[in-house]
């Protein structure tokens, strides 16, 4: 999943109810280890307690690549040029499953969702 999805829940945005349902549906949630830094930074900016972050992270398993993700990045970049952190989140998802059609990428970022779909991921979180 991308940080945008868990932030929407943390900040209780209108999409948070739908996202909570999506999180429950998939049960096992994976994210790059960049997620925690992005969450804690956004929470500090928005003056959300750090305890809320810790609670949200309980259900997330981190992806810790043990090699460069050059191939994964190149595959994604054939379909668009996302921001660096967005590229990293998608590359980590490809690291988990070399066949993107086998896992769902959860994001609230429109550009990232478009590129993820073009890469072959089913996408949840953001509506068309």
The string of pLDDT tens digits covering residues 76-111 is: 999 999 999 999 999 999 999 989 999 999 999 999
For residue 8, give the 3-state DSSP assignment: helix
Q: Is the pTM of this model over 0.95?
A: no
Q: CA 85 to CA 74: how far, in whole Å?
A: 15
Is 30 a residue whose pLDDT tops 80?
yes
Band (127; pLDDT cuts 50, 70, 90):
low
Question: In the predicted model, is pLDDT for residue 51 greater than 90?
Answer: no
CATH of residue 91's domain is: 3.40.50
Q: Where are the beta strands (DSSP E) in 2-122?
A: 29-32, 60-63, 105-107
Distance CA 35, CA 8 (A): 13
Inter-residue long-range contacts of 73-78, CB under 8 Å, 24+ positions, other chains counted = 75/119, 76/115, 76/119
| Total domains, the chain | 1
Locus of tokens 């991921």: 121
Which domain covers residue 92, as residue numbers? 3-125
């Amino acid at each position: 999943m991308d940080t945008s999805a868990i932030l929407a829940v943390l900040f209780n945005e209108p999409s948070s109810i739908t996202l909570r349902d999506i999180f429950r549906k998939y049960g096992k949630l994976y994210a790059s280890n960049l997620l925690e830094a992005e969450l804690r930074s956004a929470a500090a900016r928005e003056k959300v307690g750090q305890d809320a972050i810790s609670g949200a992270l309980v259900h997330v398993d981190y992806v810790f690549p043990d090699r460069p993700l050059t191939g994964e990045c190149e595959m994604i970049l054939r379909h668009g040029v996302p921001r660096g952190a967005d590229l990293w989140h998608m590359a980590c998802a490809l690291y988990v499953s070399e066949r993107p059609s086998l896992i769902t990428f959860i994001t609230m970022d429109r550009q990232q969702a478009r590129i993820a779909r073009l890469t072959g991921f089913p996408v949840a979180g953001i509506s068309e």
